Amino acid sequence: MRHVHGRARRAGAALAAVLTWAGLLAGATGCTSDGGGIGSGIGSGIGEMFGKAPAAEDVIRIAPGDGDKAVPPDEKLSVRVPDGRLESVKVLRSQDARETEVPGRISGDGRSWRPEVNRLAPAAKYTVDAVAVDGGGHRSARHTTFTTKVPEERFIAYVAPENRSVVGTGMIVSLEFNREITDRAAVERAVSVTAEPAAEIRPHWFGKDRLDFRPQEYWKPGTEVTVDLDLRDVEGAEGAYGLQDKTVSFTVGRDQVSRVDALRRTMEVRRDGTLLATVPITAGAPTTPTYNGKMVITELLDVTRMNSRTVGFGGEYDIPDVPHAIRLTSSGTFLHGNYWAPADTFGRANVSHGCVGLRDVKGGGAETPAGWFFDRSLVGDVVEVVHSKDKTVAPDNGLSGWNMKWKEWTAGSAVK
């Protein structure tokens, strides 16, 4: 789930300091406790609402498979449905932090999509988003990713954020390498991150395949950041040499930090230090609490599927069309729209499986709390959770490095 979809700004004037939301049908929840009370009622609705719907991967067949690595360039990219029809397909290709849409078309019968060019690009990351309606009228959405093969004895870095993007003040520059790096000092010396106005920016390694950069405090709005990759022919591991000689740049936009109080069940949204709104939320249930700590938005999805089995739970939920999904961690913590919980849940009870839920309507509403927040968010914005009964999120879970003290962060450099 790695793209930001633009949407029309239909919300009205800035909300008051405390917003009251009402008018939502009860239903099943994608991140809901199945204990007693409200959670029990919601949990019982899941089978009723979704139990008979086929799994999204059965409705929408995508090749190459989700999570596939080192896919040969001659492997065919396709999206198809056994029955029903495809509503939309969007494929993005990312190379050297430059993202482009892959042109293609849906067949006349609506059963398949194919790209105009049948050969995949080497050393690239592909993201596929597809929405379809099956023969029984069930609507499903799938979001898959795969990476293509890098030439032998070469390594590359996948860079976040994207080139020429505008991000929030909490953005952390993150390089994920396609293979383990054993000479981390040599690779670190070949990467430069600079800012205007100037800021001290330091690196930190997470394991042998990820290198992040950040300043001591959040970026100042308006900062222009440049990432220079001088990796070509740098030996990062025995016999493996870098492939890239690229520059990536991005701009830091306005400063927005949102504070989720799991105890009070509210979220305060502040823009450039001014309180925009206090929004009622539902956080993780007592048995499945939400992480504490500072988390950075890494992607915004208009709609996505949430399946409990993909994040280590059993078969508690499988919701094919969660609206306004904002990813906070790589392990599956989202801040998302919730159309299935009763309206009085928000601000009163924590019932999720660790996500933060905002009231929404099926299909996603622009003027619901979830739609309002989604339209005002950027990749790189910070969402901080406090007063939850869980541990602090790990600094390498998503872009959560702000939870490390500066001394600890700087100690993670391989250059001594």
Q: Which residue has the tokens 């622009």?
A: 366
Nearest to 28 by CA among 51, 11, 6, 44: 44
* Annotated catalytic residue within 31, 143, 353, 355: 355
Q: Which residues contact 55 (CB under 8 A, 6 or more apart)?
A: 307, 318
Query: Tokens 């030996």 correspond to what residue?
Result: 235
Tokens of 185: 């000092």
Residue 91's Cβ-count burial label (10 Å; 0-12, 13-18, 19+) is buried
Query: What tokens appear for 315 in the block?
Result: 């078969």
Q: Which of 5, 336, 353, 387 is catalytic?
A: 336
Count the Cβ atoms, other than its own, within 10 Å of residue 53.
18
Give ∠ CA 206-209-214 in degrees, rounded to 5: 45
Q: Return all residues near 126 (Cβ < 8 A) that are at least 6 apart.
A: 64, 77, 91, 92, 93, 94, 102, 120, 145, 146, 147, 148
Beta-carbon neighbour count of residue 48 at 10 Å? Answer: 10
E strands in 120-172: 125-133, 139-147, 154-155, 157-160, 165-167
Active site (annotated) includes residue 31? no
Q: Which residues are catalytic?
A: 336, 355
